[in-house]
Chain A
Amino acid sequence: MEAFVTSWLATLPTFATPLLLASVGLIIAERAGVVSLAAEGYMAVGALAAAAVTLTTGQPGWGIALGVLAGAALALLFGIVAVVFRADQILAGLATVAAGLGITGVVGREYVHQTFEGVAPFDPGMLGTIPWIGPLLFGQDPLVYLALAVTVASWWAVFHTRFGLRLRAVGEDPATADVAGVDVQLHQLVAVALCGALCGLGGAYLSVAGSSVWVEGMVAGRGWIALSLVIFARWQPLRAVLGAALFGGVEALLPRLQAVGVDMPVYLGAMLPYALTIAVLIAAGVSRVGATAEPASLGLPYIRQDRR
């Protein structure tokens, strides 16, 4: 039992980290009032860019950097359509998901199924022998720790800086923020780009740290799960750690159970994360989280001349 739990906990962050990064990114965008449905697309381009650059240069660091940039670039495309040209955020988001999946399908043909040397976990040494939690705490790859640092930094930026205050003001009441001299569109664009960058990093994690290979469709709905985690986290970056750990824990459980010989239908088991997401949304609906914690102007394009 102890061995099982220890090895399960050790693999949990690998599954939780991409979800955490994406949901923190989405929280930043939604705090600025922008529903950015395209997390799935940002993650897809991030995963491919990171894998492609790592394959050509042999440097996972450069791969990750390019993955971040690719996510941010696709997010800026969405931002131009939805924020500057005030298009319906949901339709623009869906179109951006398709753009991301389409681009990766076309460009990725050259890179598919080629394994490479990705980011390796730290050797925990003596600390890894601590029962239950040794490998969990000390045996992860550098990106896991980076993701936690990014989460704390995002929490601090959103709640304890002038920029974060303006960001939240734009998401709650853009007209008032506008009168106070805050550039609404600029803040929304920056938030969307940050969202894309973090989702791109999450995607890069999937290919460079999670599996050391790129395959089409490897994001597999994680962007949509992250979108639901935002509601679970009540738009609080630190609470997203909890949600990501819950989902990562469930995802990590399946291969562990198979490893110890538990016989279960593969495809029904694979439904679990999606079913759990729906359950979380139902729980959030019952407790009316959306009505209390959601930024008041979420999803509404702002036009100064509509101000009341």
Chain B
Amino acid sequence: MLDGLTLQRRQHPSRRLTFGSYAGGLAAGLGLSAVLLLIAGVPPDSMVDDLFTQVFVDPGGLAQTVTLAIPLVLVGLSSAIAMRIRFWNIGMEGQLWLGAIGAAGCAIHDIGAAPLRLPLMLLAAAASGALWIAIPLVLRLRLRVSEMVVSLLLSSIAFLLLQHLLFGGWRDPANSFPVSPPFDPVEQLGLLGFGNVHTGLILAVAAVVFTAILVDRTRLGFQATAIGLNPLAARAAGLPVAATTIAMVLLSGALSGLAGGVIVAGTEHRLTQFIGMNATFSGIVIAFVARFKPAGVLVAAFAVAGIYNAGNTLKVFYALSDGIVVLIQSVVLLSLLVAQFFAAYRIDRVRGVTA
């Protein structure tokens, strides 16, 4: 097909071209999303108001967006770190569930003295997330089992475990819905005085700074980048491939677990079934839009949080389902993937003969 054209892989795409294709892909993705919303029956004038002003400008809406962004920053970092070392973590949602379960377990069973409770809950969340990713990690390192499907299926198992707990031992007898009892005040992250924004924000920003330093300034980060770019060359150069992979992948799981802990301790104040936020896919989209850079994750997570926030409005006023939020993210990712093609290859027209 397309025999009249040949593709040349560009050795060093220029900065302008890389940026241009990225900006073009992003613009095309957002434009296509707008068209989809029009088709779905959202009038153009309300698109600016409901999807931009109400979400990023209006103080109440902005506070809601920032609150939603807190766990998204953590799963975005989780995805960026795993992708940097070419480990396909597509089970971030499962690690998030496990993190939520770990934190809720500490709260429900009153583990530790009251002043230590909150740090313990967050520690348990991170440890549970790391534990959940350790399964595909071990299988890949020992048996070369693809981490992709295993981590994804573990998400389904994690969700069933959550349901087992919420319909069983952890169910709040005073509530007709399957939710855990509410957490005590010492088990909740404090508010920062801006809507529902809680101290998890500080944690998320600290995680961004931590991973930025780790990735750009430390030996471990450098080794991880080298392994991600070319594992065979890294091994030949004597880099500790296994140890580096283990460290980065466990960190990825811990960050997703922490996201679960932050949601239950900061927003929900109890364990519920509705905190998954499509974490796996959103995390991948955020990491990809951020070009796998921690600082970029902060911006991308904020933008995706805006889509989630707007999605809630669309649900109420235009009877659109949550699916629209996933669809918009998918369209943006597909557009960016296609746009990359134009930076990665030079397209030449062949005259007369076919190559």
Measuring CB to CB, which residues of chain A are less than 8 angstroms from any residue of chain B? Answer: 37, 77, 81, 84-88, 90-92, 94-99, 101-106, 108-109, 183, 185-186, 189, 216, 220-221, 224-225, 227-228, 265-268, 270-271, 274-275, 277-278, 281-282, 284-286, 288, 290-291, 303-306
Q: Is B40 an interface residue (CB 8 A)?
A: yes
Do the beta carbons of A106 and B8 come within 8 Å of each other?
no
Chain B, Cβ-Cβ closest to A275? B157
- Report if A274-B334 is in contact (Cβ < 8 Å); known contacts: A105-B323, A285-B143, A305-B7: no
- Report if A185-B2 is in contact (Cβ < 8 Å); known contacts: A98-B330, A102-B324, A103-B327: yes
Q: Is B161 an interface residue (CB 8 A)?
A: yes
Q: Which residues on B sit within 8 Å (CB–CB) of A86?
A: 7, 341, 344-345
Chain A, Cβ-Cβ closest to B326? A102
Instruction: Sample 7 A-B pairs with CB under 8 A, ordered by A number.
Output: A81-B338, A87-B341, A102-B323, A106-B323, A221-B156, A277-B149, A305-B7
Number of interface residues of B (CB under 8 A): 54
Additional A-B contacts beyond A101-B326, A305-B9 (8; CB < 8 A) = A86-B345, A95-B330, A267-B163, A271-B160, A281-B146, A288-B144, A290-B146, A305-B355
Do the beta carbons of A267 and B323 come within 8 Å of each other?
no
- The 7 A-B residue pairs with the shortest CB-CB distance, nearest first, are A105-B323, A102-B327, A285-B143, A87-B337, A102-B326, A98-B330, A267-B164
Q: Is B222 an interface residue (CB 8 A)?
A: no
Do the beta carbons of A303 and B9 come within 8 Å of each other?
yes
B residues 122-157 near A (Cβ < 8 Å) are 139, 143-146, 148-150, 152-154, 156-157
Q: Is B302 an interface residue (CB 8 A)?
A: no
- Report if A98-B329 is in contact (Cβ < 8 Å); known contacts: A270-B160, A303-B7: yes
Q: Is B218 an interface residue (CB 8 A)?
A: no
Do the beta carbons of B160 and A99 come within 8 Å of each other?
no
Q: Is B51 an interface residue (CB 8 A)?
A: no
B residues 304-355 near A (Cβ < 8 Å) are 319-331, 333-334, 337-338, 340-341, 344-345, 355
Q: Which residues on A sit within 8 Å (CB–CB) of B167?
A: 266-267
Q: Is B284 an interface residue (CB 8 A)?
A: yes
Q: Which residues on B sit within 8 Å (CB–CB) of A291?
A: 144
Q: Which residues on A sit within 8 Å (CB–CB) of B324?
A: 102, 105-106
A270 to B288, CA, bound (A): 33
Chain B nearest CB: distance from A33 CB in Å?
Answer: 15
Do the beta carbons of B164 and A105 come within 8 Å of each other?
no
**CB contact between A99 and one of B88, B150, B154, B330 (< 8 Å): that residue:** B330
Q: Which residues on B sit within 8 Å (CB–CB) of A88?
A: 337
Q: Is B281 an interface residue (CB 8 A)?
A: yes
A278 to B140, CA, bound (A): 12
